[in-house]
Copies of this chain bind each other. A is one copy, B any other.
Amino acid sequence: SFPVHPSPSQSLPFPSQSVPVQSTAAQELQSLRLLQERPRVLHLQLHRPGKRNALDLRCWRELVQVFRDIAQDPECRAVVVSGAGAAFTAGIDLAELGSLLAALPAQDAARRAWALRRHIREFQESFSAMERVGTDPQTPKPAWGPLKSGVDLISACDIRFCSQDAYFQVKEVDMGLAADVGTLQRLPKIVGSQSLVNELAFTARIMRAPEALSCGLVSRVLPDKAALLEVALEVAEAIAARSPVAVQGTKVNLLYSRDRPVSEGLQHVATWNMAMLQTEDIPKSVQAALDKKGPEDVPFAKL
């Protein structure tokens, strides 16, 4: 039911039977495009061309909805996120933020606070839903290869590549607030220089691709956007070809362990693999390895 736009290169029809019941048909994506350019790989494009893909309210809600649906879709095993046009995203839509603050209940500071908290938690949830895809109760699926700038959004992605001309900026301090949809929480756990994180967050200075690579924010820099998308899709395809029991189990445990002591993580993965090592994917994989085949030659059942 999502408007899956045929991609110029190699588009497959989006498997409509996989769309869960609750995404009722009337909805139409407006700020996002969902393309299927490779088997088992979805390509999610921020699509507000005139606005440098700035995230307006509609966009936030569509993100939640799209990732909820993707999580339910056993056909999709990896998602690539990119921006339409030159920019990835200009971030939060300034004009909308202003009108949101203006619309708060006027009478009482505590009631205004309560309403604000509801908004913030909703925005946080957009990105957390993205981060969680493939790990939670009702979420069959993937891991992804996102693309370019927009620090809140990309820090909720699993893998980050960028093009040579990309730049990154934590702009909130220049708008008079502390960032509250994930940058201050995730960025320090993603990159290897706390001094740099502080500098970026306190001064809103721009960081360019080479610095992003050397600090570990992105793991590859590609010459231009075309190359970037090509490589991202290739990596996504490689992930999607692997056993979903292996890939999603890896993601569940990486996320679990990020926030806990090593001993806790070890205990969790042991409990996890009590069940998961009983999968047929292991003998299939071992046999393929003995036959000098790769995982892309093995047909794994959906998860």
Residues of A at the B interface (CB closer than 8 Å) are 94, 97-98, 101, 104, 107-114, 116-118, 120-122, 124-125, 128, 136-138, 140, 143, 158-160, 172-180, 182, 184-186, 188-199, 201-205, 214-219, 235, 238-239, 242-243, 245-247, 249-254, 257-263, 265-266, 268-286, 289-290, 294-295, 300-301, 303
Residue of B nearest to A269 (CB): B180
Chain B residues with CB under 8 Å of A274's CB are 113-114, 116-117, 120, 272, 274-276
Known contacts A113-B275, A176-B300, A177-B277; can you find 11 more A-B pairs with CB under 8 A? A108-B278, A108-B301, A117-B271, A118-B137, A178-B246, A179-B250, A189-B194, A199-B235, A259-B260, A268-B268, A274-B274
Q: A193-B191, A289-B94, A301-B107 are in contact. Are A270 and B117 (CB under 8 A)?
A: yes
Asked if B188 contacts A289 (CB within 8 A), the reply is no
Asked if B117 contacts A137 (CB within 8 A), the reply is yes
Closest Cβ of chain B to A290, distance in Å, is: 7
Contact of A283 among B101, B217, B251, B263 (CB under 8 A): B101
Closest 3 A-B residue pairs measured CB to CB? A192-B192, A193-B216, A121-B137
Residue of B nearest to A146 (CB): B195
The listed residue with most B CB atoms (<10 A of its CB), out of A184, A217, A247, A279, is A184
Q: A121-B138, A270-B117 are in contact. Are A275 and B184 (CB under 8 A)?
A: no
Residue of B nearest to A238 (CB): B203
Closest Cβ of chain B to A117, distance in Å, is: 5
Residue of B nearest to A279 (CB): B110
Closest Cβ of chain B to A79, distance in Å, is: 12
Contact of A279 among B111, B128, B193, B283 (CB under 8 A): B111
Chain B residues with CB under 8 Å of A257's CB are 184-185, 188
User: In the complex the two chains form, what is the Cα distance from A154 to B245 in whole Å?
Assistant: 25
Q: A179-B250, A215-B216, A272-B178 are in contact. Are A110 and B278 (CB under 8 A)?
A: yes
User: In the complex the two chains form, what is the Cα distance from A286 to B258 in whole Å?
Assistant: 35
Closest Cβ of chain B to A278, distance in Å, is: 3
Closest Cβ of chain B to A163, distance in Å, is: 15
Asked if B280 contacts A108 (CB within 8 A), the reply is yes
Chain B residues with CB under 8 Å of A246's CB are 172-178
Q: A176-B285, A303-B111 are in contact. Are A192 and B193 (CB under 8 A)?
A: yes
Residue of B nearest to A170 (CB): B250
Chain B residues with CB under 8 Å of A295's CB are 173-174
Asked if A276 contacts B112 (CB within 8 A), the reply is no
Closest Cβ of chain B to A269, distance in Å, is: 4
User: In the complex the two chains form, what is the Cα distance from A186 to B49 in whole Å?
Assistant: 42
Residue of B nearest to A112 (CB): B278
Asked if A202 contacts B242 (CB within 8 A), the reply is yes
Asked if B202 contacts A239 (CB within 8 A), the reply is yes
User: In the complex the two chains form, what is the Cα distance from A204 to B239 in whole Å?
Assistant: 9
Asked if A215 contacts B192 (CB within 8 A), the reply is yes
